[in-house]
Every structure is written in C-alpha cells, then in structure tokens.
C-alpha cells in the first residue's frame, strides 16, 4: 500500500517546483494531495508570511460565536483591569492635572475597524504644544510612523508613563465603549493610513486593540513592515485562544519596557 504525498499549499512562484515533485507520483498513479499547513506558532509568524499569498481569512474570524465570546471577554476584562488599576490611574490623573494645567488626558483621532474613526484616550505624555514642534524632531523610524527615542517634547513624567505603559491604561474605556478590543492591531492615525500600500491596509480588517503580537515582540524596535506582517498574522490566526496567549504574554513585555518610547 502506497502513501499519499502531502505537500504544503504552494505560492504562485513555487507551483512549478510542486508540479515537478508530483509528476513521478502521477506517472505511477499514486494519489497526491495538497493541503495547507497548520497555523504557525507566534515565534514563526514572520518566517511563514508571504506578502503575495491570498489571505486565508481576509476579514479575520467572523464567526458569531467568536465575536460574541470576544466581546464578553473584552467587557469583563476591561472592568476587571479598570478596578485593578484604578489606584494607579487616579494617582496619575491627579498628578497630570497639576502639571498640565488641567489637561491630563490626550484625545487623538485614530482609524479603527474597517476605517472607522474614533477618539482614542491616553494620559498626556507630551508638552501641550507638541504638535507645533513635531517638524523640529527627527523621525527615527521607517514607513509612515513617527518615533524618536529621545523626543524632547516628552515630559519627564511622560517618559516614565510611556516606559511603564501607564499612559495606555485609559484605553480600557475605549474597550468598554466597543471602539477597541483587549487584543488586536494598534490603531493608526489617519495620515499614516493614507501612506499604506494596498496589502498593508489588511491590518484594518479587524478591531484594533490594546495589545498584539507587535506589543509583546519589541514594539518600537520593530520595523514598520514587520509590524504590519505581525498584524496580518493575527488576522489569519484570530481566535479566543490566540487572544488569551497574547494577553498573558503582555505583562512581561510591559515590565521589560522594551521598545516603549
């Protein structure tokens, strides 16, 4: 009894090689079949990504069961985290109210699920005139994102809030309101999205989140193209189990402070 030849789902460039491998089996009339490989682990997400390969699920996991469970998970998780972190958030709010002349919160329009606009909430970490001074600060990152490790517009308190990710805690209220999820790609600003290549816009196909593969893998130390590929990996492997794994790995990443600036 002969075994079937099992091959990975080939990309267009690899199809001639696959056909050459299958040819001897066809001559001997052996059954051959091509099936996709199982989803790779998070550590292999970049190695297995093919930019030109059609998405297995171009809109993410749209099953009603998953969406309902994810929303329940978001609401319960956000409430628990707000209660848990309330002493830190109240202390930060009071301190920033004093040092920012009563403007402790920063609201910024972001692009969410399928291009929907919403206001994302953060604790203020920059000077009040930061937008006017941006042209005087060099961008250290590639692509449409703007990052500078020693950005002079960031206040002394703000630098600590960023390195500890405390500045992101108010986004738990965005999760409660439904504009964000606990787990999902980080939401970009509109001017960044206008510079996306068509394949990069795929990251907008799912709800943005507080944490993601990029968040636990080095954040700002990662190049933009790799960042987008990580988000697309999440889109193709979206499940409640994936969400739990990413969320569980987030505290260690936050405590390390790696790439948080």
Mean pLDDT by 10 residues, the chain (261 residues): 40 54 54 43 41 54 94 97 98 96 95 94 93 83 84 93 95 97 96 92 94 88 91 94 95 83 69
Give pLDDT, residue 131. 83
CB 222, CB 259: distance < 8 Å: yes
Contact 180, 207 (CB under 8 A): yes
Q: 9: burial class by Cβ within 10 Å (0-12, 13-18, 19+)?
A: middle
> DSSP labels for 32-67?
EEE-PPPPPPGGGTTTT--TTSPPSSTT----HHHH
pTM of this prediction exceeds 0.85: no
Specify the pLDDT at position 44: 41
- Here the tokens at position 22 are 């299958």
Does residue 122 sit in helix, strand or coil? strand
pLDDT of residue 40: 41
Q: What's the start-to-end Cα distance of the chain, in Å?
A: 61
- Candidates 57, 202, 204, 195; CA nearest to 118 is 204
Q: What's the pLDDT score for residue 210?
A: 96
Alpha-carbon radius of gyration of the chain: 22
Query: Could you give the CA distance from residue 254 to residue 30 in angstroms, rounded to a whole number?
Result: 53
Q: Which of 258, 231, 228, 230 is nearest to 145 (CA)?
A: 228
Residue 46: predicted pLDDT: 41
What does the buried/exposed string (b/e) look like for 148-173 if buried means 16 or more CB atoms within 10 Å of the residue's CB? beebebbbebbbebbbbbbbbbbbbe
Q: What is the pLDDT of residue 24?
A: 56
Residue 114 corresponds to which tokens in the numbers above?
Answer: 């399928």
- Torsion angle defined by CA atoms of residues 177, 207, 219 and 11, in that order, rounded to the nearest 10 degrees: 180
What's the confidence (pLDDT) of residue 26?
56
What pLDDT is stored for residue 49 in this prediction? 40
Place of tokens 């075994």: 3
Q: Residue 39 has what pLDDT?
A: 41
């Amino acid at each position: 009894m002969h075994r079937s030849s099992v091959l990975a789902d080939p990309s267009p460039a690899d199809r001639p090689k696959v056909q050459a491998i299958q040819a001897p089996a066809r001559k001997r009339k052996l059954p051959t079949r091509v099936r996709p490989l199982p989803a790779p682990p998070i550590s292999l997400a970049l190695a297995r990504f093919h930019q030109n390969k059609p998405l297995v699920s171009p809109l993410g996991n749209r099953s009603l069961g998953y969406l309902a469970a994810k929303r329940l998970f978001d609401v319960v998780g956000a409430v628990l985290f707000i209660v848990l972190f309330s002493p830190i958030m109240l202390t930060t709010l009071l301190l920033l109210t004093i040092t920012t002349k009563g403007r402790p919160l920063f609201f910024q329009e972001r692009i969410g699920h399928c291009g929907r606009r919403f206001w994302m909430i953060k604790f203020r970490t920059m000077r009040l005139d930061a937008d006017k001074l941006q042209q005087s600060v060099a961008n250290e990152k590639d692509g449409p994102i703007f990052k500078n490790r020693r950005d002079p517009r960031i206040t002394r308190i703000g630098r600590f809030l960023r390195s500890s990710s405390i500045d992101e805690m108010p986004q738990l209220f965005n999760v409660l309101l439904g504009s964000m999820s606990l787990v999902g790609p980080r939401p970009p600003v509109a001017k960044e999205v206008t510079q996306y290549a068509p394949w990069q816009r795929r990251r907008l196909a799912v709800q943005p989140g507080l944490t993601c593969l990029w968040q636990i893998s080095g954040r700002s130390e990662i190049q933009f193209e790799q960042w987008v590929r990580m988000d697309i990996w999440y889109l193709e492997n979206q499940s409640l189990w994936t969400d739990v794994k990413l969320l569980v790995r987030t505290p260690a990443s936050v405590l390390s402070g790696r790439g948080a600036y």
